[in-house]
Amino acid sequence: MASAEGPLRVLVTGASEGIGAAIARKFAENGARVAVVSRSQAKLDALIATLTGSGHLALPADLSNTESLPSLVEQAVDALGGLDVVVNNDGVSGPGLLDVEAWQAQFTMQVLSAIAIARAAQPALAASGRGVLVNMSSGLAQMPSPSFAPYGGAKAAQDMLTKTLALQWAPSGIRVVGVAPGPVHTPGLELALLSSAPPGADRAAVIEGGLKYMGSMLPLGRVGQPSEVADAVYWLAASGGNITGVILPVDGGALLTSAFSAPTK
């Protein structure tokens, strides 16, 4: 199963759209074989139809069911003949400052699922000779936001997991890194913008106005694109040979401002 050369074998969770889909495309464009995970078989099939190359695999799964995740990883290892890169791109943001259920849901999705996948993937990553685990973080892990406290808290815990595993797994030759996107133009962000629009509002105008407003709060003046996050993930995994334990912001400078920490209205 060991292979320090040849096409990368990659597992990407949360891959049906947005950042996860862009990550899968980036690896496939560069010759990797990719196993993609999401709840929706139909969305995964549609994604695989657009991926460069062949030998890709759709694995529909509910990541909140952590007991099923070792089997999921095993399927990917068996189908790809090993694993070189695992990208934990789990979960979506949501409110609930003092909502216990919201905190439980976010920690299950962001932390416990990441732990289950990491534990199951560790033997294959060690055997790879070039194993990399990438945990997708967020600037909300570093900047408090009452609007997204459960999500930010879970991502902060995931960041500590990233750094701890980087130390623990270094003797096995496995690198562990994080990527922390800022605001990114995804279908999820569009839905969030539309959710606060008045009935009958022009959808395109609402989205355009929301993106423009969010961009105005960022030093680089615009929200990011999924492909830009994917570029960072690919570079860390494929080229960042002496980098481990870092959380790389890809946020247009958001962490240099208060853009993440606006209070609840």
Residue positions annotated with a catalytic role:
151
Residues of the chain by 3-state class (helix, strand, coil), percent to 5:
50, 15, 35
CA-closest candidate to residue 136, choices 94, 187, 93, 76: 93
For residues 116 and 213, what is the distance between their CA atoms, to the nearest angstrom? 38
CA-closest candidate to residue 53, choices 85, 30, 86, 77: 30
Helices (H), 35-148: 41-50, 69-80, 100-107, 113-128
**DSSP bridge pairs for 133:** 86, 176
Residue 96, Cβ neighbours under 10 Å: how many?
16
Non-local (6+) Cβ contacts of 161 within 8 A are 111, 114, 115, 118, 135
For residues 56 and 75, what is the distance between their CA atoms, to the nearest angstrom? 12
Beta strands in the chain (DSSP E): 9-12, 33-38, 57-60, 85-88, 132-136, 175-181, 247-250
Radius of gyration (C-alpha) of the chain in whole angstroms: 18
Print burial letters for 2-11: b (CB count within 10 Å at least 16), e (below 16).
Answer: eeeeebbbbb
